[in-house]
Chains A and B, each alone.
Chain A
């Protein structure tokens, strides 16, 4: 077997499933189901209206077909839209959490206890749509930071949620966002009040369990004037034979001088390495709005999993002098398909954006960068820099680049550059001649290739991401 062909031999290391009884709605989607979700969640009245409107809109829409992706039609009636672990009582500490559940996190390398003690990271662990444990909540409360599940926020801070929910990603935005708006069951809510720097990095680990349950997460982060927050999101999912749909929506709102940093490491089940069967469909709408002057939103993502990734974390740069950033590493292997990138919409004066995208394709995968930089008439003095590089490993994979650059005023400066390269046998030979094994060589080359993005990640995430890429490309050479 040649060096590069062996790439396909990497199995999903987190393929297991925890047996926990779940309260589950029958498969199918109709108005009654939407009402039932609303009832089960005990949400305020305005949410019913929100959900039903979204559902009505969704019915009128058609699945987007413009992405460079191939997959069988999704039967939206074959999905159960609500599943909750049967644990009704709110937990105050980790001791009260189902040990089996904790063991699941343990296998993922994430121990809440350890995290709590060692890293000072508050974790809102989402296990199949309902928050189980929220640590450090009290510490945060002292600073006035609200960090809770969105269902809790709907109960305790309905006005805040009402004000911002759907303000960045309207229910009518796209097919999957409309679906999410109608049926989302849980997610995270963060509110950082004025003049507050969030005392710790916030983090949510997502986990998809319960076979054939689509997960519809909804995350809303609001950073008030002069506030700052860094949010981490990481995902792994058990190996299932049937495709799972994940249509999440993430909304960020940055008010005047506020700064939000949103980091993601995504490593969901990518399906059978040979056939691509069974992987997660990750159709996510992520968008941030720099609403206030001098606000700043930064997206960092490391996408390594999922059978299909369809995801464009975007920034609406509305406030004058606001800044948007997008740093991305997307790795596809075997039969994975990724169509990912960003949109930077410049509206305010002197807005700036930076896009750094690194795509790595291996095996038989398809990796597309699709980005849009739009400079509106009002965005005087807007500035954008884009760099998207692709790396191909093996001759069966594809790397595509689709940048859209629309400039509608005469004071904007936009630069876009892209390149494609490969890990050559020569480079590996060079490493080997210096006594470095081929695997380590590839890991080093990849690590160097992704350096610009990794250094944007919080330290512990950067390490994890680096390790993850090496793990994903294990056996790719030999």
Chain B
């Protein structure tokens, strides 16, 4: 008898004409993935069925309220059947110095073993990488039944379903118990332009860490030679067993016309830790849906984000930290610098289940709005069903502090230098926390280049 009031996201819209993107993507899912073991086709089929029931995102849906989707909806996408050659030089330029011998390459959604460098990884006993295409039916069956299949039925995220429905050759990473992978692994996702047709890619990763295993990865999303729009529907599932710890750096360097929908589900076990650093600097429209479930006591989740948005970019960050076990902790720190007509969105929810006592959760979102037409939408939310918890959240939206600028200029800095120093200080809090040293330099340099370009060559060293 009781009707539960929920968000309107799931309500079917009546007589809604299908958008071009929806039609073409749905059509693309029909082509079978010949390279995959048989069980994966079942998964794809399930996702296809579900996809037909879930409405395509529009701004009328609460969770897409701030996404301007017109550009996406009106594009006819085809799936990537072409995998252009990428030269060794191009790849080398994209590889971090720390990851020379630990680089896994995906081109247009498909894992490319011949382009990958695994020398440092094969040396580690207990670190396994298996492309989906290289699995036998039994292994595939196990992966599906234990990890992937259950989530499809209840999924109402259109892009995550599209990713599964379009599943191509994904990659399974497993780290055995007690194994510490001491080199950072660069996962290079290249969207390589082939022709003038807008294309959709569906890269998929599954990472399973055994008890007390450790792994650091850098997900690097780049565009190469793109002549038209691309749509990346990345899917990432992470399972951390008791005491396991994983750090991921999500570095987004999409090309100008890149749409990027990134969905990840993370399960954090007992005493396990999940750290994520999102660096969103580029692309046309990007959207990150992070769903972290802390299932074990004393599990810990830390999600940081640095957004630097200009022109008419949109970057939408949706986080759900679901504390199902007590004594767990989570921390979110997202900062954005928004200029021109860009829009940044932070929509984060901390959920604390009944009985998850002694949980400690914090959310903080800070925004610098530096142009009259820039927009910031922030929604730090708490859903608390347990009484003995500590939760705090905060959000600020503002500009560079005039007093601080005055102070610096009174000490002899030029106005531009003062501004740069403040912006740099704002960003460094997050850059400092990155566990890969070469990234510090690179990001600081990028920030400086960007500032110089924008404000003339005024920012001093």
Interface residues of A (CB under 8 A from B): 64-73, 375, 377, 390, 392-422, 424
Nearest 4 A-B pairs (CB), nearest first?
A392-B387, A420-B391, A414-B397, A416-B395
Tell me which residues across on chain B come within 8 A of A408, comparing CB atoms.
375
- A395 to B387 CA separation, bound complex (whole angstroms): 5
Q: Are A418 and B372 in contact (CB under 8 A)?
A: no
| A392 with B384, Cβ < 8 A, contacts A71-B3, A377-B372 known | yes
Q: Are A395 and B369 in contact (CB under 8 A)?
A: no
- A65 to B8 CA separation, bound complex (whole angstroms): 7
Could you write out 29 A-B pairs with CB less than 8 Å apart?
A65-B3, A65-B8, A66-B8, A66-B62, A70-B5, A377-B373, A392-B384, A399-B382, A399-B384, A401-B380, A401-B381, A405-B376, A405-B395, A405-B397, A406-B376, A407-B378, A410-B369, A410-B371, A410-B399, A416-B393, A416-B395, A417-B393, A417-B394, A417-B395, A418-B382, A418-B394, A420-B382, A422-B387, A424-B388
Central interface residue in B375, B378, B391, B397, by most chain A CB within 10 Å = B397
Q: Are B388 and A398 in contact (CB under 8 A)?
A: no
CB distance from B374 to the nearest CB of A (A): 6
Partner of B375, one of A393, A406, A417, A418: A406
Q: Are B6 and A65 in contact (CB under 8 A)?
A: yes
Residue of chain A at shortest CB distance from B9: A66
Q: Are A418 and B383 in contact (CB under 8 A)?
A: no
Residue of chain B at shortest CB distance from A68: B5
Partner of A400, one of B66, B371, B379, B383: B383
Tell me which residues across on chain B come within 8 A of A396, comparing CB atoms.
354
Partner of B4, one of A64, A70, A410, A415: A70
| A405 with B378, Cβ < 8 A, contacts A400-B384, A418-B394 known | yes
CB distance from A344 to the nearest CB of B (A): 13
Q: Are A409 and B372 in contact (CB under 8 A)?
A: yes
Partner of A415, one of B8, B369, B395, B399: B395
CB distance from A70 to the nearest CB of B (A): 5
- A67 to B367 CA separation, bound complex (whole angstroms): 27
Question: Apart from A407-B376, A415-B398, what are 9 other A-B pairs with CB-CB below 8 Å?
Answer: A65-B8, A377-B373, A398-B385, A399-B382, A407-B367, A407-B369, A410-B370, A412-B369, A413-B399
Q: Are B372 and A410 in contact (CB under 8 A)?
A: yes
Tell me which residues across on chain A come within 8 A of B399, comparing CB atoms.
410-411, 413
CB distance from B328 to the nearest CB of A (A): 15
CB < 8 Å A-B pair total: 138
Q: Are A422 and B388 in contact (CB under 8 A)?
A: yes
CB distance from A112 to the nearest CB of B (A): 40
Tell me which residues across on chain A come within 8 A of B357, comparing CB atoms.
395
Q: Are B393 and A394 in contact (CB under 8 A)?
A: no
Q: Is B389 an interface residue (CB 8 A)?
A: yes
- A472 to B390 CA separation, bound complex (whole angstroms): 25
Tell me which residues across on chain B come within 8 A of A73, comparing CB atoms.
3
CB distance from A437 to the nearest CB of B (A): 21
Q: Are B394 and A416 in contact (CB under 8 A)?
A: yes
Tell me which residues across on chain B come within 8 A of A424, comparing CB atoms.
388
Residue of chain B at shortest CB distance from A398: B385
Tell me which residues across on chain B come within 8 A of A70, comparing CB atoms.
2-5
Tell me which residues across on chain B come within 8 A of A392, comparing CB atoms.
384, 386-387, 389
Tell me which residues across on chain A come within 8 A of B91, comparing CB atoms.
none
CB distance from B373 to the nearest CB of A (A): 8
- A249 to B200 CA separation, bound complex (whole angstroms): 50
Q: Are B3 and A406 in contact (CB under 8 A)?
A: no
CB distance from B90 to the nearest CB of A (A): 38
CB distance from A138 to the nearest CB of B (A): 47
Q: Is B377 an interface residue (CB 8 A)?
A: yes
Q: Is B7 an interface residue (CB 8 A)?
A: yes
